[in-house]
Structure 1
């Protein structure tokens, strides 16, 4: 799989996770609006569960971002090693993670 494909797959996964987080936040907002009608105890349980899901989603998002950065760095190193092995003195293309 090429680096561009890996980046695209990672971008797609991050976008899916962001949609899931937005959906959870929307559900939490709806639950908050309905809490008076549902009763406090039931709402508190649901709210706690949704908060836990949201925290887990955010942790997964951060892990995906870190994995993407590591993959990009590894790909850059691999390109540099291949170029060095082939005797190519041209600089490696930027991976977009420098900064």
Structure 2
């Protein structure tokens, strides 16, 4: 056994750890083109959801406005019915 054998063994072990770490990284990151496509799809989905949310909020405001109008009209109708019935007991 030479003086270089322990150094060679440490180098071999370090290279094995490096290979394992690189393989794990590649497994986590996957195919860059596929990841880019997935990110693009997520961005498109986000844009579509944001647009749908904006439309829903606009529709909610429109419906709230109609509900307010209906409430005022109903209040006026109730006042008219009360006035037509005369003073209460």
TM-score of the pair, normalised by structure 1? 0.47
Deviations, residues 63-86 of structure 1 (Å, cap 9, x unaligned):
221121111111000011111222
1:68 and 2:65 equivalent?
no
Q: Which residue of 1 aligns with 2:78?
A: 86
Task: Count residues with an aligned counterpart.
Answer: 54
* Structure ID, larger Rg: 2
Query: Equivalent residues in 2 for 1:1-99 (5 A)?
Result: 37-87=29-79
Deviation at 1:41, TM superposition (A): 1.1
Secondary structure of 2:66's partner? helix
Greater relative contact order: 1 or 2 (C-alpha under 8 angstroms, separation 6 or more)?
Answer: 1
In structure 2, C-alpha distance between the alignment counterparts of 1:55 and 1:79, rounded to whole Å = 36
TM-score of the pair, normalised by structure 2? 0.51
Higher relative helix content: 2
| Superposition RMSD in Å | 2.1
Segments of structure 1 that go 5 or more residues without pairing to the other structure are: 1-33, 89-99
**Structure 1 residue runs of 4+, over 6 Å off?**
none
